[in-house]
Structure 1
Amino acid sequence: MIVDKANAALDSVYGADTPESLAQAYAAWAATYDSETASLGYLLPFLITAWVARYVPAGEGPLLDAGCGTGLSGPSLKALGYRDIAGLDLSDDMLKIAGSRNAYGELKQAMLGGPLPWPDGYFRAFFSTGVFTISHAPASGLHDLVRITKKGGHAIFTVRDQVFESGGFQAVFDELTTANKWQLVEQSPWFRCYAIAEPDALVKTFVFEVL
């Protein structure tokens, strides 16, 4: 069954213990990722567009889809009038699929947690879904994402419940707040990231304004 294959693939990416093994897991999953996550009712790439549209008027500058995967968010944002969208992901195989959607002006292979290949204040906003989760990007990756977002711009991202405390997200939030790099604008309640499967898999969306 497709749901069983999707769950097996999720186990593989959540079980990755190095960036290399995570990239390999996504390379193996890339071709069937869209259909298999759809079978689980994966909401986040589509739902995040609501927060983007709430805070970022179309045409105000480039957006970054940080951890874009196969680029599921891009076409929805393009349909909403956003034309200047870049994407980054650690998986070249996923990026190739994202490129086929004709929604991204720029796609780069990069890993959150390291230096990102854009100058300070380049983006009007970044958004990220399903990336700050089990065995994926570290909370420290937020520092460079904030660096490449312009003052007055927005950081819009989800964090999985299972890593929020263990991954030190609140500590990074506090560091950036104390350093006057950003301020909290909105946080959602915890909600399900799969409409069909995995009812206990919860995320929260955070929106910060970059200062």
Structure 2
Amino acid sequence: MATKTEELDDVYGAKSPDETRRIYNRWSESYDADNLSRGFRLPPVGAGLLARHLGPADGPVLDAGCGTGLAGEALKILGYERLIGCDLSPDMLSAAQRTGAYAELHEADLGKPLPFAADHFAGFICVGSFGPGHAPPISLVHLAHVTRSGGYGVFNLIEATFADQGFPPVMAGLESSGAWEIVQRTEPFLPFLLGEPDLWTRAYVVRMR
């Protein structure tokens, strides 16, 4: 079996959503153990950032790229009951289902229009889904589309690669069009406390207009 580092390297080198899906299906059974043993803290950090701005009673929340449900579990502990998750990998969704944190789970490609109505969600969280080989920048447009005016979103980007991946022009377009405003950019931090010492990320909080 591949180690966690090998699996992550495989995902970062993926050339298509189908390839990414196959890797995550293969990784689903050991994903939590592999990541948590290395001090993975993106899910609780993301949940905390969302909770600063959006209350549990404000409406349904989308956990986009939910994986095995680590962020959903954190939000559930914080009192969020109306959680809907989506992910590219059906095997990861099966793991998320076992957490009991989600009202609904859907298979979805973030790079394509999402299977939800416009303005449906009060907020979204999308952490760990925008590294190389993961969801493309256009995903932010799709997430904004399904989040209502006044709602909030939280996501993270890898400092070393997000510009080359094409995120800045998409984010600038969402701001200039009035779709959202960035209300917080964290300082760069390590998503893995016990590994990947050169992998820095930054989290963003956005408010829909």
Give the TM-score normalised by the residue count of structure 1: 0.96
Query: Is 2:76 the counterpart of 1:71?
Result: no
Contact map agreement 1:157 1:206 (CA 8 A) in 2: yes
| Match in the other structure for 2:154 | 156
CA deviations 1:18-62 (Å, max 9, x no partner) are: 111110001111011100111211110121111011010111100
Question: 2: distance between equivalents of 1:119 and 1:101?
Answer: 25
| Match in the other structure for 1:119 | 117
Question: 2: distance between equivalents of 1:41 and 1:152?
Answer: 33
Question: 1: distance between equivalents of 2:154 and 2:44?
Answer: 13
| Match in the other structure for 2:127 | 129
In the TM superposition, what is the alpha-carbon distance from 1:162 to its structure 2 partner? 2.7
Of residues 199-208 and 5-14 in structure 1, the stretch that sits farther from structure 2 once superposed is: 5-14
Question: What is the aligned counterpart of 2:36 among 16, 35, 38?
Answer: 38
Question: 2: distance between equivalents of 1:208 and 1:52?
Answer: 10
In the TM superposition, what is the alpha-carbon distance from 1:79 to its structure 2 partner? 1.2
Contact map agreement 2:50 2:153 (CA 8 A) in 1: no
* Counterpart secondary structure, 1:165: helix
Of residues 29-38 and 4-13 in structure 1, the stretch that sits farther from structure 2 once superposed is: 4-13
Amino acid aligned to 2:161? V
In the TM superposition, what is the alpha-carbon distance from 1:134 to its structure 2 partner? 1.2
Amino acid aligned to 1:120? A
* Counterpart secondary structure, 1:185: strand
Amino acid aligned to 2:108? A
Amino acid aligned to 1:41? G
The gaps in structure 1 that reach 5 residues or longer are none
Question: 1: distance between equivalents of 2:41 and 2:51?
Answer: 16
| Match in the other structure for 2:8 | 10
Query: Is 2:53 the counterpart of 1:55?
Result: yes
Amino acid aligned to 1:208? V
Q: How big is the alpha-carbon RMSD for the aligned residues of Structure 1 and Structure 2?
A: 1.2
Give the TM-score normalised by the residue count of structure 2: 0.97
Contact map agreement 1:189 1:204 (CA 8 A) in 2: yes
The gaps in structure 2 that reach 5 residues or longer are none
- Superposition map of 1:159-178 within 5 A: 159-178=157-176
Question: 2: distance between equivalents of 1:185 and 1:77?
Answer: 20
In the TM superposition, what is the alpha-carbon distance from 1:169 to its structure 2 partner? 1.2
Question: 1: distance between equivalents of 2:111 and 2:35?
Answer: 25
